[in-house]
Amino acid sequence: MTKITASLSRVTYGLDLGDRFSHYFALDEAGAVLGEGRLPTTRTALLKHFERLEPCLISLETGTHSPWISRLLEGCGHEVIIANPRKLSLITRNQRKNDRNDAELLSRLARADPALLHPIRHRGEKAQRDLAVLRARAGLIRSRTALINHARGVAKSLGGRLPASSSSTFPAKALESLPEDQHPGLKPLLVQIGCLNDSIKEYDRQVKTLTQERYPETARLLQVVGVGPLTALTFVLTLEDPQRFTKSRMVGAFLGLVPRQAESGKRSPELRITKAGDRELRRLLTQCAHYILGPFGPDSDLRRYGQRIAETGKKSAKKRSITAVARKLAVLLHSLWRSGESYEPIRYPDQRAEEVAMV
């Protein structure tokens, strides 16, 4: 995790980032106000202001601009804290919320104790650029799904029904079964779906190239049946450095696959998962869990683990098993990546023989 060396002997800045302008608030070592103001959210304006300053502590909230701005400020010799807005109810629920007050609260919290900001770490520029390929592909997938659903809905409302098919063959099959009088409304839509299919195939080729040429460590993750190049590459780019977690078990919490907690005395209710961290990676791991527990998933420790949970008979046991396998899969992938070991689907074959004998 990111190491923060806060010190009261230097200036502390709070920087509230905006799309066009960003407000700053500066405190000296005694907590007195040194100055405040706003700057255009541009590389030139930020460099002009912060490049001339002595090294100081700068806190800002995560957002669209925070990755490149944090790298820019670190390049000027400053220490930057990226605050997690999910944890800052003091700011998000402030009754007098504005840019100036947000910047002041960021600076005062950073000066008092940076841990109060629950700092996060942004990935590097290289990983961010490569991850943009996966994000763009996911966006096209969502658009294609929405268009296919729209086409089916329109056909159904007119008394027809488009044939079942995969997304790749949908435009051709739908056009064959489409009545002539529905062509003006749906034919251009089917053409666009075909164009999306071509673009998605191009992104798939880029993903394959990235896994083979720039991120060969994904091969360790691909040993697990059910994990494909897309999931492996997303996992590597999201975590970026396997050494950032001292224990593999921490990855489950990082990706929001652990239950929330609301314990009070003897009361400890069962709650939903936190859903913190990267949503797209969490979705991909859940898809892998569905395959592992599905009819085509081979026998493995992961599959047995999920089946034991599904057979408990508790409420929503099947859903809980999917989430549990996704969390355990994340831990397994990190362990394989960090250790470089070969994957063994069943680590204790003797135990498996005993189970078969008992049956």
Spans of all domains in the chain? 12-117, 125-214, 220-262+270-358
CB 57 within 8 A of CB 10: yes
Q: What is the pLDDT of residues 199-255, one digit of tens each?
A: 999 999 999 999 999 999 999 999 999 999 999 999 999 999 999 999 999 999 999
Cα distances (Å, whole numbers) of residue 11 to 8, 83, 195:
8, 18, 54
Please report the pLDDT score of residue 357 as a whole number: 43
Please give the full DSSP string across 154-169, using - where no structure is assigned: HHHHTT--PPP--TTT
Q: Which residues pair with 83 in a beta bridge?
A: 61
> In the chain, which ranges are E strands?
12-16, 21-27, 33-40, 57-61, 79-83
Q: Which residues pair with 14 in a beta bridge?
A: 25, 59
- Name the residue with tokens 């190491």: 3
Nearest to 50 by CA among 31, 26, 33: 26
Q: Which residues pair with 16 in a beta bridge?
A: 23
- Name the residue with tokens 């991850």: 131
Q: For the sheet containing 12-16, what is the strand order?
A: 33-40, 21-27, 12-16, 57-61, 79-83
- Residues of the chain above pLDDT 90, percent: 77
Please report the pLDDT score of residue 6 as a whole number: 46
Q: What is the pLDDT of residues 296-327, one digit of tens each?
A: 999 999 999 999 999 987 778 899 999 999 99
Query: What would the two tokens of residue 28 be?
Result: 């000296």
DSSP 137: H
Please report the pLDDT score of residue 277 as a whole number: 87
Asked if residue 4 has pLDDT above 60, the reply is: no
CATH code for residues 12-117: 3.30.420.40
pTM of the model: 0.85
CB 300 within 8 A of CB 263: no
